[in-house]
Amino acid sequence: MKRINFTLLYVAVIGLVCLVSLLYVLVAPPQSLRMSRDGIPFFTPPVAHPVSGEALDLGELVRHFKGE
C-alpha cells in the first residue's frame, strides 16, 4: 500500500489556492482595487495640503501636477 505524503499534499493545496486567488483578483478585481484613468484607486483617502493642512482630493492633486 502506498503511503500519502501529507506535507506535499498540504503544500500543493495551499499553492493551488494561492494561484487561484491571484488569478481571480487579476481577472475580476474587487471594487477597492479599481483605478481611474490617471491610475488613482477609487477609494483613496484625502491628502493633506503641505502648507494649509487642508484635505485635498488625490485626483485634484494629480491633475494639478499633470497641468490639467
Residue 66 has pLDDT above 90, yes or no: no
Domain extent for 51: 6-66
Confirm whether 37 is domain-assigned: yes
Distance CA 8, CA 11 (A): 5
Question: Which residues make Cβ contacts (< 8 Å) with residue 46, sequence separation at least 6?
Answer: 55, 56, 57, 58
Where are any strands of DSSP class E within 1-68? Answer: 47-48, 55-56
Residue 14 has pLDDT above 90, yes or no: yes
Confirm whether 1 is domain-assigned: no
Amino acid present at 37: R
pLDDT at position 1: 65
Count of the separate structural domains present in the chain = 1
13 or 29, which is more confident?
A: 13
pLDDT at position 13: 97
Confirm whether 59 is domain-assigned: yes
- Percentage of residues of the chain with pLDDT beyond 70: 97
Averaged pLDDT for residues 29-54: 81
Using 50, 70 and 90 to split pLDDT, how confident is the model at 67?
confident
**Residue 59: closest CA among 51, 45, 30:** 45
